[in-house]
Amino acid sequence: MTVQTPVSLEERKDKLQGLGCSRKRVEDARFTQGKGHYVDDIKLPGMLFGDFVRSPIGHGRIKSINKEAALAVPGVKAVLTADDLRPLGLHWMPTLAGDVQAVLADEKVLFQNQEVAFVVAEDRYAAADAVELVEVDYEELPPLVDPHRSMDPDAPILREDIKDKTEGAHGPRRHPNHIFTWEVGDKAATEQALAAAAVVVEEQITYQRVHPCPLETCGCVASMDKINGKLTIWGTFQAPHAVRTVASLITNIPEHNIRIISPDIGGGFGNKVGVYPGYICSAVASIVLGVPVKWIEDRMENLSTTAFARDYHMTGRIAATPEGRITGLWCHVLADHGAFDACADPTKFPAGFFNICTGSYDVPVAYVSVDGVYTNKAPGGVAYRCSFRVTEASYFIERMIDVLARKLDRDPAEIRMINFIRKEQFPYQSALGWEYDSGDYHTALAKALKSVDYDGLRARQKASREAFKRGETRKLMGVGVAFFTEIVGAGPVKNCDILGLGMFDSCEIRIHPTGSAIARLGTISQGQGHATTFAQILASEIGIPAADITLEEGDTDTAPYGLGTYGSRSTPVAGAATAMAGRKIRAKAQMIAAYLLEVHEGDLEWEVDRFQVKGNPERFKTMKELAFAAYNQAIPGLEPGLEAVSYYDPPNMTYPFGAYLCVVQIDVDTGVTEIERFYALDDCGTRINPMIIEGQVHGGLTEALAIAMGQEISYDADGNVHGGSLMDFFLPTAVETPAWETDWTETPSPHHPIGAKGVGESPNVGGVSAFSNAVNDAFAHLGLTHTQMPHDHWRVWQTAQRLGVTG
């Protein structure tokens, strides 16, 4: 008889590395050794390279295009223009927002760097040389840069293709440069609340145009196999299945003959959700030439043409009682969408989930209207590390709350505490139509305030202001308080779709006979660590160690259909599908265990990695044993095998939240802002991998720092884009990045199978407000209510100068 050392329950649990374990990222072995496999690493025999001729001007008419000199460059195979794409009906393409976008400029150019012609050559060098030699003759037209002028009666008409359309994808259009008006809430009741209020504050808040700027730019390799008629496209796609369906619909190639593969992706942050001219041109070139065609953006192309974010010009009004209780919220947004409406939002939400702008507060009535307009700028309007327009909404309300606090001369933390939705109000119905699933805001903010010794900070600030007055320092201290509620995990198919594709997600699991597994999902990691965390969800559900579970995503020929990764939807939706598929596996395993142990299914209970007989835990079958039996033992009434698929349509969104505090020191003479301290408390519901959460928070806060303190894509009066290179577009290095302090509370989502809410985007959403509130707070005693981002040196200095504190 062999004596087995009994393995404790804890040891068995630890071996799984399931929920709550800070398991090391399985992806990092390849990434840290330079062994990742990105789209530009793909090399196929005979592959050609595409490169764009781009518009040097912001608005103009194309009088002629002469390709001859370009075609004469050795190695050049083709030069495509709109006229070449027209016979295929591919010179325009549908956008995700119900508009159309020129694939190659058709008669007009509408923004600087717009795609005008596509050169295909044997190598990148020949393509770049030929690009210089395509002669395009333009007639310049007056550029329209200021969105506030878009609907002026005498504004130049940008979109001549739709100038007579009075009905757009989202309702009536009032002007040829008007895209839509979107209204939510009770206008009359809100106006009444404002009229009746003892206190009303109003502010103009602009969230500047920025860009997600992933380290890897966008690109693809398209390969048409003329023998079997199959088109394969490897690309930087955040939603490979959606790309396949859209590609099929616009090219008429049957969907089974299109294969989309997202290899390793070097960051997306929303930039890689859209469909870009480079993809269409590469596919057409491959179809026409019969060989693979690669297209890779350079940094300037990425920053100046593919999907910007934000550019929201918001006017807000809050009605409140003298004690600071909010009685109403009113907001109007002028949304600059650029030359085509290529926002990536669920179809019914042309301004995304901007109507989450009542934030974390119990606002009785609210009204929001958004006007989308065209300008001579690059299209986009994607969610840069946030769920659709949630960062804009959060920034708006968090600045407005501070403005209210200022007006009432109250502490901003206190005004938040007074207005928070209370714990017992969840599930909470917001005035603008959302049902918040769970939250405990008072506890979170109280913990944050205590952790940073908030009262101590305010006392120090007071002393430092007095020292400033006495001329002992030239620095102003600011304390930024921000609280955010996100709305992520789009979403319920009943109201969330993109181009008609329902926003469910999926997971398919196969257990191998020896008790390891492979799981495939409809999402695609761009650095989030899906292969690590989703295996952990499964490990806890099915009792197989995470290390024995392979996770695959991104190949539409093998992965189940799903809508991809953005808007923090992977854990709320695909993560739920993973848990549900795991539960199906477990249910079948239970039947097998019942047969093997000769008991009724109801007599079994699950414990970590096994089914055991209730009251008799010595009699058990581990998942490993059950897997083997599933394949190799004839079990009456059961099919062999152990597999499951789940398509999960979430019943609701999830609502992560958090409390962030930022302390800054501003040198009024130089405009330099030093981040003295940043504390971030996140509540993302059930925590799957605390180390990955911390990593996501660090990354998102760094982006928030970049946005608040420096990022901007701007246009001059002539329509020239500025900030289109990393010399000017602020990407912080380790030197500019402060040390982050992270903390947490845990309020599970009541409707998610494991209670998880998603965390990847929270730090960007909450961080921007915290930085900006801190900068504004530094000047608050001088009468400042709001100053526009980015808070770069010169703007901060101008603010100081305006307030009379510069030397």
Near other proteins by CB under 8 A: residue from 88, 720, 792, 802: 792
Using the CB atoms, write b or e for 224-261: b if 16+ within 10 Å.
Answer: beeeeebbbbbbbbbbbbbbbbbbbebbebeeeebbbb
Residue whose CB is less far from other proteins, 337 or 791: 791
Q: Which residue reads 């997306």 in tokens?
A: 268
**300 touching other proteins, by CB under 8 A:** yes
Q: CA-CA distances (angstroms) from residue 116 to 84, 112, 669?
A: 12, 10, 46
Binding segment for other proteins (CB under 8 A), chosen from 93-101, 416-424, 429-437, 664-672, is: 664-672
**CB 44 to other proteins: min, Å:** 21
Closer Cβ to other proteins, 14 or 669, answer by number: 669
Catalytic residue among 208, 238, 536, 612: 238
Point out the catalytic residue in the list 385, 389, 586, 795. Answer: 385
Listed ranges 417-425, 590-598, 719-727, 742-750: which one lies at the site for other proteins (CB under 8 A): 719-727
Q: How far is the CB of 669 from other proteins (least distance, A)?
A: 5
Which tokens is 660 given? Answer: 């962030």
* Per CB under 8 A, 743 contacts other proteins: no
Scanning 239-247, 266-274, 292-300, 358-366 for contacts with other proteins by CB under 8 A, the matching segment is 292-300
Comparing C-alpha atoms, which of 774, 570, 771, 578 is closest to residue 684?
Answer: 570
Q: Dig out the tokens for 705 from the structure.
A: 């720092």
Q: Counting contacts by CB under 8 A, is residue 168 touching other proteins?
A: no
The amino acid at 604: L
Other Cβ atoms less than 10 A from the Cβ of 453: the count is 11
- We find the least distance from the C-beta atom of residue 299 to other proteins, in angstroms, to be 7
Does 728 help bind other proteins (rule: CB under 8 A)? Answer: yes
Give residues 104-133 in contact with other proteins (rule: CB under 8 A).
124-125, 128-129, 132
Q: Catalytic: which of 203, 398, 508, 761?
A: 761
CB 491 within 8 A of CB 752: no
Minimum separation from the CB atom of position 608 to other proteins (A): 49
Q: Which amino acid, residue 575?
A: G
Q: Which stretch binds other proteins (CB under 8 A): 496-504, 557-565, 722-730, 743-751?
A: 722-730
204 is catalytic: no
* Residue with Cβ nearer other proteins (8 or 733): 733
Q: Is 802 in the site for other proteins (CB under 8 A)?
A: no
Angle between helices 762-778 and 390-408 (to 10 degrees): 30
710 binds other proteins (CB under 8 A): yes
Identify the active-site residue in 218, 386, 496, 684. 386
Distance between terminal CA atoms of the chain? 89
3-state secondary structure 329-393: EEEEEEEECCCCCCCCCCCCCCCCCHHHCCCCECCCCEEEEEEEECCCCCCEEECCCCCCCHHHH
* Of 151, 162, 493, 672, the one binding other proteins by CB under 8 A: 672
Residues 6+ apart with CB under 8 A from 105: 55, 62, 82, 114, 115, 116
Closest CA to 715 of 59, 269, 103, 52: 59
Of 730, 744, 771, 779, the residue at the interface with other proteins (CB under 8 A) is: 730
* Angstrom distance (rounded) from CA 363 to CA 527: 37
Q: Which residues of 2-40 are buried (b: 16+ CB within 10 A; e: fewer)?
A: eeeeeeeeeebbebbbbbebebebbbeeeeeeeebeebb
Nearer to other proteins, 65 or 296 (CB): 296
Would residue 496 show up in a list of annotated catalytic residues for this protein?
A: no
631 binds other proteins (CB under 8 A): no
Q: Pick one of 299, 512, 584, 698: the residue that binds other proteins (CB under 8 A).
A: 299
Least Å from the CB of residue 124 to other proteins? 6
d(CA 71, CA 78): 7
CB of 101 to other proteins, least distance (A): 24
Counting contacts by CB under 8 A, is residue 671 touching other proteins? yes
Which residue from 581, 626, 582 is spatially nearest to 601, judged by alpha carbons? 626
Nearest to 606 by CA among 549, 541, 536: 541
Distance CA 269, CA 251 (A): 28
Q: Could you check whether the bond before residue 763 is cis, i.e. omega within 30 degrees of 0?
A: no
281 included as an active-site residue: no
CB of 795 to other proteins, least distance (A): 8
Binding status of residue 100 toward other proteins by CB under 8 A: no
Number of residues that bind other proteins (CB under 8 A): 29
Any catalytic annotation for residue 761? yes
CB of 70 to other proteins, least distance (A): 14
For residue 338, which of 301, 368, 309 has the smallest C-alpha distance? Answer: 309
Site string (745-784) toward other proteins, x via CB under 8 A = ----------------------------------------
* 797 lies in the binding site for other proteins (CB under 8 A): yes
Active site residues: 238, 385-386, 761
Q: Site residues (CB under 8 A) for other proteins?
A: 124-125, 128-129, 132, 298-300, 669-672, 710, 722-723, 727-728, 730, 732-733, 735-736, 792-794, 797-798, 806-807
